[in-house]
Amino acid sequence: MNIASYIDHTILKPTTLPSDIEKLCGEAVRYGFAAVCVPPHYVSLAHKHTAGSAVATATVIGFPFGYSCIEAKVAEIRKAIADGALELDIVINLCAVKSGDWDYLSREITACLQPIRLNRGIVKVIIESGVLTDDEIIACCALYARHKVDFVKTSTGYSEQGASVHAVQLMRSHLPPEIQIKASGGIRTFAFAQELVDAGATRIGASASVTIAGGS
């Protein structure tokens, strides 16, 4: 298996520098990673450094806590698309999940999907599985399956727990086959990445991508 083709090579530190983005993109092109995932501030720079390659430009929306208002998320999405992002990783409103406000979450994803679909982009909803109960994960899968998102993603990497095999298996068993799973958060070795792929993940978000691609 070519693990590199599963990986979104990621840097999302608030102290990220332009030189970090240039290095990230160079590595992504060299190793054949699926995408680079960068802060919104650097989307246009990443798009420039990956131009002419098969590496997609991805960014995050509502990151990392997800509780920005719907209008703010839509504005972020429009700006990111204009700057060259093809893939949008959107943190859902976790306050709404915990309070059981599924109507709000439905309105949120409907609004976010409109500009993405208009521009033929890819949406990955981040549910932060490490802070959810199994029942909440299952309910998220049901909601986002109805809205036909492209991916459901485990984690931001900024919460108490990142990706887990259990969460990926649970998501895979409650999502239709056409909806993919991105596992992210705390993935630092090839062995763990392989476990997550075996559990059903089709994309891996990692900053240790070069190590993982090297089989370590």
Give the integer Cα–Cα distance in Å for 160 and 77: 26
| Burial class, 62, CB count within 10 angstroms (exposed 0-12 / middle 13-18 / buried 19+) | buried
Q: Judge whether 98 counts as a catalytic residue.
A: no
Helices (H) and strands (E) in the chain, counts: 9, 8
Q: In this structure, what token pair is assigned to residue 83?
A: 């700057």
Handedness of CA 207, 13, 16, 54 (dihedral sign): positive
Percentages helix, strand, coil for the chain, rounded to the nearest 5?
50, 15, 35
How far, rounded to the nearest angstrom, does the alpha carbon of residue 172 sit from its chain's CA centroid?
16
Q: Judge whether 148 counts as a catalytic residue.
A: no
Q: Judge whether 153 counts as a catalytic residue.
A: yes
Q: What is the CA angle 65-34-134, rounded to 5?
A: 40
Question: At which residue do the structure tokens 């959107």 appear?
Answer: 90
- Is the CB of residue 153 less than 8 Å from the CB of residue 184? yes
In the chain, DSSP assigns E strands to 7-10, 35-38, 56-61, 87-91, 122-126, 151-153, 180-184, 203-206
Among candidate residues 89, 98, 124, 148, the one labeled active-site is 89
Among candidate residues 73, 83, 150, 153, the one labeled active-site is 153
Catalytic residues: 89, 153, 182
